[in-house]
Amino acid sequence: MLQILRSTLVALLLTGTLAQAVLPPPPTLKSAFAKHFLIGAALNQAQFSGKDPRGASIVIAQFNTISPENILKWESVHPELNRYDWEGPDQYVAFGVKNKMFIIGHTLVWHNQTPKWVFEDAKGAPLGREALLARLRDHIHAVVGRYKGKINGWDVVNEALNEDGTMRETQWLKIIGEDYLAQAFQFAHEADPKAELYYNDYSLENEAKRNGAIALIKRLQAKKVPIRAVGLQGHNKMAWPSVEQQDLTITEFAKLGIKVNITELDVDVLPPASDYRGADITVNYELQVKLNPYAQGLPDAMQRDLARRYAELFRVYVKHAAVIDRITFWCVTDGDSWLNDWPIRGRTSYPLLFDRLGQPKRAFTVVLSTATTKF
């Protein structure tokens, strides 16, 4: 009997399964990945203002970095020319400081969720380059300056590129010209020289857009712009990007000597509404029952597929941990996710690791286990 036990033990040890059997994976995301990267989530106002204690407790237990889902976007923090609204941002930052988290600011320059007045003079005529640059500088100095030493990293520019890698024709580009990016980074650097500064975008796993981003970052580097990292938003589908695409994308950006962060991670399990595969938040389609197949719950087989999908992505992140500072999920529980309303309003989506009751899903457990992947 003893002999059988001993040989079983030896066999288990040799295959490594004993280690897994007696040493359960660490119970939280932040502890599991402590040696690899920070793990975060984007917070809504209810979570950091005290209205959603359940959400806040998940954040405090699981994450060591936070991003603001909306509260620091231009339209929220600076709704009118002479009015900033600091209440929400102050609460967000206080929540992060209190819980000793790495606090992200999102986002200083974007074409969405930016009021029309930003680009116009008092009569509604388009601003010229110098006037818009002055306005941008004021905004960045006000917002970055207020949280100097507290917000640790800023998405300076969000989504400056088209799918083919060319520059997106935003008001920023049209009025200021391409150096709006370098200028914005410079203003942010002046306002808080210690803050990390990032370029953030979606679909950079696709070759054309990635090449555009690489060229853009090289141009910024040639101007000595202090860019710490590129943010891959990571609004993923079940079959996109492929593991190979994800792997190659991280490798290619890391060659620029910058870090590569995953900044808005989620996995969309719902059927696509069209052929469109990007993350442009202005896209919207009609609700149809066939496009909302899991309104009553996600079938077990899909839970397993989602867990598998998360595992394959996290194995790539763990492989590249040396160049990744941070992996941030876009929202905390499935119920919080923008994917319930985009690109179709009113669907029931399941893109995250915590379900609508705040309970960890199968994908959570599987993600934890990837922390011990050996390469």
Q: Active-site positions?
A: 159, 264
Q: Is 37 in the site for ligand GLA (CB under 6 A)?
A: no
User: Which neighbouring-strand residues pair with 266?
Assistant: 235
d(CA 131, CA 175): 10
Q: Give which of 315, 310, 328 is closest to 101, Cα–Cα.
A: 328
The gap between the terminal CA atoms of the chain, to the nearest Å, is: 37
Closest separation in Å from C-beta 261 to ligand GLA: 13
Residues 175-204 contacting ligand GLA, CB under 6 A: 202
B/e letters for 157-167, b = 16+ CB within 10 Å, e = fewer, are bbbbbebebeb
d(CA 5, CA 9): 6
Residue of minimal CB distance from ligand GLA? 338
The DSSP-derived string for 124-178 is SPBP-HHHHHHHHHHHHHHHHHHTTTTS-EEEEEE--B-TTSSBP--HHHHHH-T
d(CA 338, CA 241): 20
Q: Which two tokens stand for residue 314?
A: 């996290």
User: Which neighbouring-strand residues pair with 102?
Assistant: 65
Cis peptide before 343 (omega within 30 of 0): yes
Closest separation in Å from C-beta 158 to ligand GLA: 5
Residue among 70 and 211 whose Cβ is closer to ligand GLA: 70
Q: Tell me which of 60, 254, 273, 281 binds ligand GLA, using CB under 6 A.
A: 281
C-alpha distances in angstroms, 303 versus 2, 40, 89, 353? 41, 22, 35, 10
Q: Is 206 in the site for ligand GLA (CB under 6 A)?
A: no
Residue among 253 and 307 whose Cβ is closer to ligand GLA: 253
Closest separation in Å from C-beta 264 to ligand GLA: 5
Closest separation in Å from C-beta 106 to ligand GLA: 6
Residue among 329 and 371 whose Cβ is closer to ligand GLA: 329
C-alpha distances in angstroms, 355 versus 30, 238, 251, 284, 289? 18, 18, 32, 25, 22
Residue among 240 and 365 whose Cβ is closer to ligand GLA: 240
Q: Tell me which of 56, 59, 250, 279 binds ligand GLA, using CB under 6 A.
A: 279
Q: Mask: binding to ligand GLA, 79-118, rule CB under 6 A, as x and -?
A: ---------------------------x------------
Q: Tell me which of 28, 44, 62, 233 binds ligand GLA, using CB under 6 A.
A: 233
Residue among 147 and 329 whose Cβ is closer to ligand GLA: 329
Helix (H, G, I), strand (E, B) or coil at 343: coil
Closest separation in Å from C-beta 371 to ligand GLA: 26
Q: Tell me which of 172, 199, 314, 338 binds ligand GLA, using CB under 6 A.
A: 338
Q: Is 158 in the site for ligand GLA (CB under 6 A)?
A: yes
Q: Which residues make up the interface to ligand GLA (CB under 6 A)? A: 106, 158, 202, 233, 264, 279, 281, 338
